[in-house]
Amino acid sequence: MVEPHPRGVLFVCLGNICRSPTVEAVARAEFARAGLDVPVASCGTGDWHVGQGADARAVHAARFAGYDLSPHRARQLEAEDFSRYRMVLGMDGSNMADLRRACPEALHSRLGLFLDMTGAAPPSDLPDPYNGTDEDFEHVVVLARRGVRGLIRMLQNGTKAEP
C-alpha cells in the first residue's frame, strides 16, 4: 500500500554498516538542532550484515564528531520502504541502480542520490570507506554533514538545495 502522505528520509547504501547509518545519525542530530520533525532511517540493499551493529570504524569516526551510532542495527531494504518514505536516497550510483530496479516505477520520483539531491556535490557519490582507512571513515562524516546541511535547507525551503 502506498502511503498517501509519506514522511521521512531513508538513506541507503550497500550493507548498512558504514555510510547510510552515519548519514542517518548525522541527519537525526542535525534535524533536531534545526527544529525539523522529520523521521530518518537507513538500510542496505544487501543482506550480509542484517542485525549487526555499525562498523567499529564508523562508530569511532561518528563518536569523535559528536554522533552516536551505537544503537544502530543493520537492516535490508524492504519493498514497503518505497511507499513508507518521502525520499529514498542512495549513497552512490550503484546503490541508485539497485534502488531503481527495486522501486515501483510510480514511486521513482522519491529516489535520489544523497549528495546530488542535497546540493553537496562534488563528489556525487559518498565514497564507501569499508575497505579504506580511518581517514576514509572520517571523510564520510564530513560529507554526511555537508549533505545533511543541504538536505535541511531543501526541507526548510521546499526546493532542491544549492551547494
Catalytic option among 19, 28, 110, 146: 19
Q: Average pLDDT in the 48-77 region?
A: 97
> Look-up: residue for cell 564508523?
58
Q: Which pLDDT value is given to residue 103?
A: 98
pLDDT per residue over 125-144, tens digit each? 999 999 999 999 999 999 99
Measured distance CA(93)–CA(72) in Å, rounded: 24
Q: Where are the domains of the chain?
A: 9-157
- Which of residues 5 and 149 earns the better pLDDT score? 149
Mean of the per-residue pLDDT values for the chain? 92
In contact, 96 and 63? CB cutoff 8 Å: no
pLDDT value of position 118:
77
Using CA atoms, how far apart are residues 139 and 91, in angstroms rounded to an integer? Answer: 14
pLDDT tens, 98-116? 999 999 999 999 999 999 8
81-120: b or e for each residue (b if 16 or more CB lie within 10 Å)? bbbbbebbbbbbeebbebbeebbeeeeeebbbbbbbbbbb
User: What is this structure's pTM?
Assistant: 0.93
Percent of the chain past pLDDT 90, that is, above it, reads 85
Q: Does domain 9-157 have CATH number 3.30.470.20?
A: no
**19 is a catalytic site residue:** yes
Q: Are 30 and 145 in contact (CB under 8 A)?
A: yes
Helix (H, G, I), strand (E, B) or coil at 151: helix
Specify whether the CB–CB gap between 65 and 31 falls below 8 A: no
Assign 28 a pLDDT band (cuts: 50, 70, 90): very high
Kindly tell me if the per-residue pLDDT of 3 is higher than 70: no
pLDDT of residue 73: 98
Task: Supply 135's cell numbers.
Answer: 581517514
- Each residue's pLDDT tens digit, 87-97: 999 999 999 99
Name the catalytic one among 13, 18, 43, 103: 13
Residue of 55, 57, 128, 146 with catalytic role = 128
Let me know if 128 is a catalytic residue.
yes
- Size of the chain, expressed as the number of residues it contains: 163
Is 92 tagged catalytic?
A: no
